[in-house]
Amino acid sequence: MENKKLSLKKTARLAGLLGLVMGIPLPFSLIYVPSKIIVNGNAASTSRNILDNELLFRAAIAGHLFAATMFVFLVLILYRLFRSVNEHWARLMVALVVVQVPIAFFIETCNISALMLLKGLIVKSADPLQQYDWAMLLVKTARYGISALQIFWGLWLLPYGLLVCRSGFIPRFLGVLLIINGIGYLVETVVFLLFQPGHYELVRKFTFITYFGEAAIMLWYLIRGVKENTSNGG
C-alpha cells in the first residue's frame, strides 16, 4: 500500500509538471499574440502586423504546436494515474485529447500559410490587396478553428472530473471544478456558434471564472501529489 501511494504521488507530480510546461505557452500563443496581430475587419493592418512581427507570429505558432504535443504526454500520464478508478472513463479522456492534436496542427498550418502567402512564397502573381484578403481568411479560419477546438477542451474535462471525484486520492471538489470548467468551455462554444458576437463576449465574462479548475488541480499535483489517506473509488 505504501509503495502504491508513493507511485501515485510521483505520477501526480509528473502530471503537474507536464501541465505547467504545457500551460506556459498557451496564453502567449492563443491570447497575447492574436491581440497584438489581428485587427478585426482590417485585412491590410492585420497583414502588416504579421510581417512586422514575424518572429512573434512564428513563436506563437511554435508555442501552440509544442503545447498540443505535450498535451498527449500529459493525458497518458493522467491515464496511468486514473485507469484503476475507471478504465472506460480513462480511455474516453485520452481519446478526447488525442483528437485535438490534428485540429491544432491544422490551425497552425493556416497561420503559417498566411505568413508564407504574405511573403510571396505561395502565390506570387496576386496583388497586395488580394494577398491581404487571403491571409486574413486563413488567419480567421485559424481563429474559428480555436472555437471548434474548444468543444474538445470542454468534453475531455468531463470524464477527467468524474475520475477525480471517484478516485479517493484527489479531493472531490477538484473534480467538481474540472466538470464546471468543461461545461464553461462548452457553453462558450454553443453561444459562439448560435448567437451574435456580442452575446459571446457577454457570456465569456461569466464563464471565464470557470477556467480555474484546470489550474487548481495542476497546482494540487505539484504541491500535494495525492492525499495522505488514499482510498480507491474503484
Spatial distance between the Cα atoms of 5 and 234, rounded to a whole number of angstroms: 15
Report the predicted TM-score, pTM, of the whole model to 2 decimal places: 0.86
Mean pLDDT over the full length of the chain? 89
Grade residue 210 by pLDDT with cuts at 50, 70 and 90: confident
Q: What pLDDT is stored for residue 67 in this prediction?
A: 96
Write out the three cell numbers for 209.
471564472
Grade residue 24 by pLDDT with cuts at 50, 70 and 90: very high
**CA 50 and chain centroid, separation:** 23
- Could you report the per-residue pLDDT of 44-70, keeping only the tens digit for each? 999 999 999 999 999 999 999 999 999
- Could you report the per-residue pLDDT of 164-191, keeping only the tens digit for each? 999 999 999 999 999 999 999 998 888 8
Q: What pLDDT is stored for residue 172 in this prediction?
A: 95
Spatial distance between the Cα atoms of 25 and 57, rounded to a whole number of angstroms: 13
Spatial distance between the Cα atoms of 204 and 209, rounded to a whole number of angstroms: 9
